[in-house]
Copies of this chain bind each other. A is one copy, B any other.
Amino acid sequence: MSSIIGHRLKVSVFGQSHAPGIGCVIDGLPAGEAVDLDVLGAFLARRAPGRDAFSTARREDDLPEFVSGLLEGRTCGAPLCAVIRNSDQHSKDYSEIADKPRPGHADYTAHIKYAGAQDVRGGGHFSGRLTAPICIAGGIARQILERRGIRIGAHIYAINGVHDTPFDPCLVSEREFALLENKPFCVLDDAAGTAMQERILAAKGQLDSVGGIIECAVTGLPAGLGDPMFDGMENRLAQILFGIPAVKGVEFGDGFASAALRGSENNDPMTVDAEGNIRMTANHAGGILGGITTGMPLLLRCAIKPTPSIGLPQKTVSLSSGDNAALTVHGRHDPCIVPRAVPVVIAAAAIGILDAMLDDGIGF
């Protein structure tokens, strides 16, 4: 439980922010699949901190060591273990945070659950740093999916109330994904992107933070993938996506907006296209009906809450004295983690989709 996900493909995530390392074990990868380490490195770099003014200035060397599972650049059927060293795990005094839980963090809940034995340094196992192993697993899964014509892309859909243009749910394309992949601040509408960046910098200037929404699309999926009821694509993907720290909402297709629609507006009409293929002429369903893919692009959105670490003084309690207390979180923190969370959402989607394909024996 807890940090293991998947049925036929199982990803086990380990590590704490300030332990010797973090990493993952991926059990059930199909054998003989090439893993392009350059492509994987570029994918991981999208999550790495310190690339721009919007993220923390901390440096991470997130190049994983592959302890097992790879043989001459290909998966060999054995569980793949990747470890990333925590280079920067020294020193700092964590006694204040051990006593005063940071609002918005898991400090207090972990303290109760583990009765004080938890690793408080940098958030321990609850740190956003643990999304790096998710990106390793998802980055490898994505390469395997791409080889079967399945592409996954995502963009920053909203920051602090400023919205990007959404994907066209019927026409989202590989070309669009390639474009986003190469943008330092991956939005479809650059003007919206500029406004978003202003919001981030304004919050940063006031020692505050902002949240946002990420939209993710998957193209090339066959119809008929996923299971009914509790193992539908929505269930599987939601279970993984809520594993990304700070995700507080997940929706598919029109999601919460569909609640305001009428059936005649929300139902996707079906048609036989020029090539004789069955498809929908709209995609309010986000490519999923009854938990099973329709063959249209799969679309989802995740709400990311604002970074809980802010430089402003906050009200908390002292666990030792049982009194009210004030806390100011020092150190370098992302005023907005949404840009760095984009590859994590892609990775989560890739893991869920590859697992479903292996479960269904589709594509393998």
Contact = CB atoms under 8 A, between A and B. Distances in A.
Interface in A309-364: 309-310, 312, 314-317, 319, 322-324, 358-359, 361, 364
Nearest to A131: B229
B289 A211 contact: no
Contact of A250 (B250, B270, B291): B250
A104 B253 contact: no
A168 interface: no
Identical copies of this chain, number: 4
A111 B90 CA distance: 46
Contacts of A78: 3, 14-16, 19, 118-119, 124-125, 228
Interface string A1-37: 1111101101011111001111101011001100000
B259 A1 contact: no
A235 B243 contact: yes
Contacts of A229: 2-3, 5, 13, 125, 130, 243
Interface stretch (A46-54, A61-69, A179-187): A61-69
Contacts of A103: 267-270, 280
B76 A113 contact: no
Nearest to A210: B262
Contacts of A253: 248
